[in-house]
Amino acid sequence: MRVVSIIFLLSSILSNAADYEVQINGKLNHKAKALFDADFRTSFNHSQKGPVSITVDLKKEQQIKGFVHIPFLNNVKGRIKSLLVDVSQDNKEWQKVYFGELSYPRHVNVWPNKKDKIIRISLPSPVLAKYYRLNVQSTIENVPVKIGEFAPILSDSEPFKGKTLADLKGLRYAPSIHLSYKVPHASVYYNEIEVTKSAPGSFFMGIGFNQGYFGIQESAQGKKHFIFSIWDSSSHDKNAQVEDKRVKVIHHDKGTRFQRFGHEGSGGQSFYDYDWQVGQKIRLALKIEDKGERRHYSSYIYITENKKWLHMLTFSSIAPQKHLSGFHSFVEDFRRNYESFTWHRGMKVHQVWAKGLDGKWHYGEQSRFTRDGNPHTNITAYEEDGAFYFGTGGKVDQEVAPGTIIKRAPAKTPPTDLPFE
């Protein structure tokens, strides 16, 4: 089996990647210096399958205490499976200092995952060496190797000390934040939301529930639309669910697009283009109907310009629950470009109504504020003029701790113009 040899000549192992000379098969390769540039956002993505031998010239003898390895961040495919590390003083005679196999969580993506870790290899005792060599013997799924970082722990430096992989992944985006409402199980959910600040790659979800989500988005390109989705599987493979158990489309408006989706569970997803504006009140209504072996979830959007409700789409699902539960909203940054966490996104929730199984309307007077595992703390939530407000990223007025309960005065009148009432 062919072994590819990669030689690095480093004047500074961590501080100045621009000084590195990287050679693959005797040819200069600037991309491979991503292995040692102390920047977790970059990665070395090799082009060939099979074992790879990576040799690093430290330019002088150094005390090596171990190694820090940041796996490829986005998924496990191509990550190092088995490896051998050896050291040398003359690039001729080599001493093996580590051999082993690495393991990872089964599902890895862009989101922080506490089970996915920075790998720190500690040697039994420091070794004096001018060269070290990383021999990648196999990879996950036997594809070309992908490495975030593989850097030495020297006597006077340890890359990414005190950091976790969740910390590093979290730096890509603003925290996802949520409000959950204290309402009973229901046949109808109604919400009225208002975006106060948006940015490319934003999701303002007004009606989240046990089986899906319903809200508005601004794409990374600045286009805007309604989105309504229903899950039918916990698999990230959009085709994992068998045909007769998949979500089906029962009705859709002529302007509604729909498709299968994956990578966050799988199911049915729909879009309706609409150029909503900051400061505009967006009205959403969701109804569930029991149809024997299936449930019908119908989404309705209010088109302000026409002063009319539009039946966006109805999904049919084999979901076991015959009612709606888990009413919540969230704000999410899906741009995730290591800059988007500096952009603020904010939303007001004006109306939260649930039509209970008793046929009575119940108002959401109370919400509980939560967040994801992102390390940023620039998040906020509070009551403002009878509305729940919550925001993430950029500059916030006041940082608010997860778990905060927010209350507001009760409303008197539920919606009276819903198209199915």
Instruction: Give per-residue pLDDT as tens, 307-340.
Output: 999 999 999 999 999 999 999 999 999 998 889 9
pLDDT for the residue 22: 53
CA distances from 160 to 37, 62, 145 (A): 12, 19, 22
CB-based contact 181:193 (threshold 8 Å): no
What domains are defined for the chain? Answer: 4-170 (2.60.120.260), 177-407 (2.60.120)
**Residue 157 is encoded by which pair of tokens?**
């430096």
- Cα distance between residue 315 and residue 92, in whole Å: 66
Residues 6+ positions from 221 with CB-CB distance below 8 Å: 200
Q: How confident is the model at residue 88 (pLDDT cuts 50, 70, 90)?
A: very high
The pLDDT tens digits for 374-397 are 888 999 999 999 999 999 999 998
Beta carbons of 144 and 47 less than 8 angstroms apart: yes
Strand, helix or coil for residue 185:
coil
pLDDT for 125 beyond 50: yes
Return left, alpha or beta for 310; rule: phi > 0 is left, psi -120 to 50 is alpha, else beta. beta
DSSP state of 157: B
Q: What is the pTM of this model?
A: 0.80
Q: What is the pLDDT of residue 298?
A: 98
Per-chain mean pLDDT for the chain: 90
Q: Which two tokens stand for residue 420?
A: 């199915």
pLDDT at residue number 355: 98
Structure tokens at 164: 């976790």
The 10s digit of each residue's pLDDT in 16-46 is 434 445 555 555 566 667 777 788 888 888 8
Q: Considering only 16-30, 126-140, 157-171, which range has the smallest mean pLDDT?
A: 16-30
Mean local confidence (pLDDT), 218-231? 96
CA–CA separation, 219 and 281 (whole Å): 19
